[in-house]
Amino acid sequence: MVVLDLLLTNGWIVDGSGNPGYAGYVGVKADRVAVVGRQPAGRPGRAARAGLPEARQVLDAAGMVVAPGFIDIHTHSDVSPFVNPLMESAVRQGVTTVVSGNCGSSPAPYTPEKSDDSMNWLRSLAPDAPWDWRGYGEFLDRLEEWGLATNFAGLAGHGTLRVAAMGGANRPPNRNEFRQMARLLEEALDHGAFGVSTGLIYVPGCYADTGELVGLARVAGRHGRLYASHVRGEGPTLFEAVQEAIAVGRESGAPVQVSHLKLEGRSMWGRAEELLDLLGQVRRGGIDVAADQYPYPAWSTGLAALVPPWAMEEGPEGLARLLEDPSTRDRIIRALEQGEPGWSSSVPGVGWENVVISDCENRTYEGRNLTDVARERNQSPADACLALVLEYPRTGVIGHAMAEADVLRILREPDVMVGSDSLALAPYGPMGHGKPHPRSYGTFPRVLGRYVREQGVLSLEAAVRKMTSLPADRLGLKDRGRLAEGAFADLVVFDLAAIQDRATFEAPHQYPTGIAAVFVNGTLVLEGDRHTGALAGRVLRAGR
């Protein structure tokens, strides 16, 4: 008889498939789930007497839900392991796998002589990382050597590929430059990247036309990998932007993942049903398109992303030169406040008073809105915005721009996955400052506590599916995302009556409650409030 390493008994098994939960047990041998079964009647002291398998360690999960570990389909935790390999704000939410490289930005391929501002920002976050890689495979190797507490899956960022081939140029690539981008993407896919991502509101991704995107998505499509897109607009141009992503999928054959689906700005509120109908019609027409969402009515990005992209072609230094010309300055300010042909500003549908500084070298500005900061500086909000981009180029902001009703409607859609759009943090050390979006600490417990237990927006089984098997299937992770015999033993045990996000916009650095235990590849990583220190995560490589 095989003796298990671990047996979780008396739990409420929610296996990730969406099927109804049941009272049962889960047995683990090494790094795999060895058995999943229904709990025999009675509660004897010894598992073997109840007809359960023998195990070296038996944990009573009475009153707890036992589910597959959560897969965060959309993160920016590319360099978090180099700063805090414990991956604390992820693990403490029950996350066992993070998917990084989103929104067009990844740490590889890395070409130091052509490093752009986004790459410099990543490097500033993790100055102690080796940064000695060049190709995507080398980056994954370094990450594997470093160690981390969660599993890691990555996408190759289109912006990163573009910079490696042609710097930050605001023009279409020539034939040789495109070939280099395609070659670098092919190499990344060969070494395990799960697809290519785009960030089409960010420099330099915003300089690409649809043909360039189709060409690269074809490379991903040949491998059966994702085209994941932060689309070209999430406000008034949202529907056109989503149609572009659909066109990329249609022309390339790549599965399309629309990142952090939302309707930004008052003019778009109330159109969630229309948006979801569009995606549904496209799927029924044979195009593979899906989406993910974070469950908050506010976005977060860099302040520089509010500036029209043509003005940021040469970074803050170039912006400063442009602002010296009065007519150009007037054009930039008009674009900031009203948008302009071919570019939709985030400000009109939000209002400066709802754009809040989350991270800034001048800590006195953190947690304050642009209207308030501008008043203190005796400037207009637009002038203050531009001044801060010049003075503190890496300033982050949060925009309270979405309607809760739209957030809930998107959340109800069965095939929309949950993703935090965050990076793994901890309330101490180099990533423990500022007032970041609370999604970094609370996304998954928020869904379970607020939207399952309190509001009944989702059933428990539907919510867990959105966090487990749905993203696993999207990524092609056949042995993760479900509680099934032979699957990797990524497990989360939580108390549905107690699970709750505690992070707020005012006080974001707070871990959630209600997570009792987290196992990654069969190893206990979190026990109650205690992180065990185990670096049990693995670097996952597509196609292997």
Q: What is the pLDDT of residues 189-205, one digit of tens each?
A: 999 999 999 999 999 99
For 426-455, what is each residue's pLDDT tens digit?
888 777 889 999 999 999 999 999 999 999
Q: What is the mean pLDDT of residues 193-218?
A: 97
* Percentage above 70 pLDDT, the chain: 97
- Quick check: 48 pLDDT over 60? no
> CA 336, CA 267: separation in Å to the nearest integer?
17
Does the pLDDT of residue 310 top 90, yes or no? yes
CA-CA distance, 347 to 306, in Å (whole number)? 8
What are the extents of the domains in the chain?
A: 301-399
pLDDT at residue 44 greater than cutoff 60: no
Compute the distance between CA of residue 127 and CA of residue 430 in angstroms, rounded to an integer.
Answer: 10
Range scoring the smallest mean pLDDT among 115-119, 349-353, 404-408: 115-119
CA–CA separation, 270 and 278 (whole Å) = 14
pLDDT reported for residue 174: 98
d(CA 134, CA 192): 15
Contact 489, 8 (CB under 8 A): no
- Spatial neighbors of 174 by CB under 8 A, at least 6 apart, are 166
Q: Pinpoint the alpha helices (H) of 296-419.
A: 315-323, 326-338, 370-377, 381-391, 404-412
| Mean pLDDT score, 309-315 | 92
pLDDT at 512 over 80: yes
pLDDT at 124: 79
Task: Dump pLDDT digits (tens) for 514-531.
Answer: 999 999 999 999 999 999
pLDDT of residue 50: 61
User: Is residue 49 pLDDT above 60, yes or no?
Assistant: no
The rounded distance, in Å, linking the Cα atoms of 420 and 293 is 7
3-state secondary structure of 353: helix
pLDDT band of residue 117 (cuts 50, 70, 90) is low
- The arithmetic mean of pLDDT across residues 493-504, rounded, is 98
Q: What are phi and psi of 273, to 5 degrees?
A: -60, -40
Give 471's strand partners. none
CA distance 124 to 277: 42
| pLDDT computed for residue 143 by the predictor | 97
pTM value is 0.96
Predicted confidence at residue 126, as pLDDT, reads 84
Q: Residue 427 has which token pair?
A: 């309330």
pLDDT at residue 47, as a whole number:
46
Residue 45 has pLDDT above 70, yes or no: no
For residue range 241-259, what is the model confidence (pLDDT) as tens digits?
999 999 999 999 999 999 9
